[in-house]
Structure formats: C-alpha cells, structure tokens
C-alpha cells in the first residue's frame, strides 16, 4: 500500500491536531483539579482559624462560668476579684487576637470577602459594641475596626 | 461540618501519597463542604458576650 506525500502530510496533520486537542483537554482537567485543591486548601485554612477562634471563645466562656460559680458560692472576695479580672481580660484578648487574624485574612484577600461578610458582619459588630473599651484610639485590633467600618458602610 | 473538616485536614496532612481515586473522593468531599458552607452556615457569639458582660458585672460588684 503506497501513500502519496500529500496523504502522509494530511495524516500527520490530523494526528497533530488530535494530539493537540488531547493535550488541551488534559490541561483543562488538570487546571480544574488544581483549582478545586486550592479552594479546599483555602477552606481548610479557614476552618482551622475558626476552630482556633472557637477554642479561645470557649476558654473565655469557661472563665465566665468560674466567676459565676465563685459568686454563687460567696467566694468572690477582693483577692479572687483581682485574679479573675486578669484571667478574664487575658481570655478576651486571646479571643480578639484570633478574630483580628481572621479580619486580616479577609482584608488582605486571603479569604474571599463576600463568603464571610454575611456570616461575620454581625459577629464583629457585636464584639465591638460589647468591648468598646478595647477599640479606642490605641487599639491593637485595627483589622477588626477597619473591616467593621468597611462592612458598615456597604 | 466538623467531620467534614477532619476529612479535609487529613487529606492535606496525607497529601504526599494519594492515589487518584482517593484524591477524587476527597475533592468531592471538599466540594460538598464548600456547598454546605454557602447554604448552611452561621456563627454566633451572643451567649459568650452576654456571659462576659454578666461576669464583668459580678467582678465589679464583688469589691463593693
């Protein structure tokens, strides 16, 4: 069976096109899988940050319960008061630090802002309202303040 | 949600030696998490805030 040079050229062109299409399909699938992996990785980071926030919030809850128990048992004397004021303040600071870190990640686009706005807008606003004294001029929680300002104006 | 998060975390931890089927399964699990997040997630700190303010009041009144 003899192939003319034109036939061989046509066949090689067809094979080249088919290979090109296969490579394109493969590349698109790879990109899609990489995109999925990146989204999952971002979600993992968010979940671990949220877990850390909840852990610190839980520690604050525990301190609050200890204070209530002491009060119920009439053991909240001036010495206990000093100790627990410091303990509660430290727990509040630890919680706010983790919230500030979340706000930083949202502000710097490490997390998609639109995904978090609905969930955290009220959460952040209530924190600022309840701990107003922590958000004065010399506040360490600038990311919380700035994100709240931005979301309040939108 | 927390069970799903463990799956994703463990997938990241063991990412060095995954067979393709396992990768696909975990990708699907991650996609499920993403969609559940879009529709069924909310956070609240109301009770913690109320408890904190109440405990602060108790501390304030303790010295009086």
Express each pLDDT in A16-29 by its tens digit: 999 999 999 999 99
3-state secondary structure of A35: helix
- Predicted confidence band of residue B3 (pLDDT cuts 50, 70, 90): very low
Residues A82, A84, A85, CA angle at the centre, nearest 5°?
65
Do residues B9 and A44 touch, judged by C-beta distance below 8 A?
yes
Q: Is the predicted pLDDT of residue B6 greater than 80, yes or no?
A: no
Tell me the chain B residues in contact with residue A80 when contact means C-beta distances shorter than 8 Å.
Answer: 62
Per the listing, tokens 């067979």 go with B19
Nearest Cα residue in chain B from A117: B42
Q: Which string of DSSP letters, residue by residue, matches A91-136?
A: HHHHHHHHHHHHHHHHHTTSS-HHHHHHHHHHHHHHHHHHTGGGSS
What is the Cα–Cα distance from A50 to A45, expressed in whole angstroms? 9
Share of chain A above pLDDT 70, in %: 99
Query: Per-residue pLDDT for B38 more than 90?
Result: no
**Residues of chain A with pLDDT > 90: what percent?**
71
Judged against a pLDDT cut of 60, whether residue A147 lies above it is answered with yes
Per-residue model confidence as pLDDT tens digits over A18-64: 999 999 999 999 999 999 898 888 888 888 988 999 999 999 999 99
Half-sphere exposure of A77 (CA within 13 A, CB side): 2
3-state secondary structure of B14: coil
User: Is B10 a residue whose pLDDT tops 50?
Assistant: no
Q: What is the mean pLDDT of residues A63-91?
A: 94
- How many other CB atoms sit within 10 Å of the CB of residue B53? 13
The two three-digit tokens of residue A138, written as one number: 């010399």
**pTM higher than 0.80, yes or no?**
no
Q: Smallest CA–CA separation between B18 and chain A, in Å?
A: 13
- The pLDDT assigned to A113 comes to 86
Query: What confidence tens digit (pLDDT) does each residue in A102-127 have?
Result: 999 999 988 888 878 888 899 999 99
Of A33, A44, A123, the CB nearest to B12: A44
Work out the number of other CB atoms within 10 angstroms of the CB of residue B18: 13
CB within 8 Å: A88 and B59: yes
Using CA atoms of A117, A118, A119, A123 in order, give the dihedral in degrees to the nearest 10. 80
The C-alpha of B28 sits at a distance from chain A's nearest C-alpha, in angstroms, of 9
Query: Which two three-digit tokens encode residue A94?
Result: 């630890």
């Amino acid at each position: 069976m003899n192939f003319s040079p034109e036939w061989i050229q046509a066949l090689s062109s067809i094979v080249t096109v088919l290979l090109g299409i296969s490579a394109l399909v493969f590349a698109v699938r790879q990109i899609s899988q990489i995109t999925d992996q990146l989204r999952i990785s971002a979600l993992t980071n968010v979940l671990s940050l949220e877990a850390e926030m909840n852990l610190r919030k839980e520690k604050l809850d525990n301190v609050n319960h200890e204070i209530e128990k002491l009060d119920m048992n009439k053991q909240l004397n001036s010495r206990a008061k000093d100790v627990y004021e410091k303990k509660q303040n430290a727990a509040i600071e630890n919680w706010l630090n983790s919230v500030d870190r979340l706000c930083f990640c949202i502000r710097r686009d490490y997390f998609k802002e639109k995904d978090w706005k609905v969930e955290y807008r009220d959460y952040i606003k209530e924190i600022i309202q309840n701990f107003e004294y922590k958000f004065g001029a010399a506040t360490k929680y600038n990311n919380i303040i700035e994100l709240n300002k931005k979301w309040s104006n939108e | 949600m927390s069970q799903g998060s463990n799956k994703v975390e463990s997938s990241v931890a063991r990412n060095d030696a995954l067979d393709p089927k396992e990768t696909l399964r975990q990708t699907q699990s991650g996609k499920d998490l993403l969609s559940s997040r879009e529709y069924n997630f909310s956070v609240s700190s109301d009770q913690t805030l109320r408890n904190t303010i109440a405990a602060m009041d108790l501390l304030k009144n303790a010295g009086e």
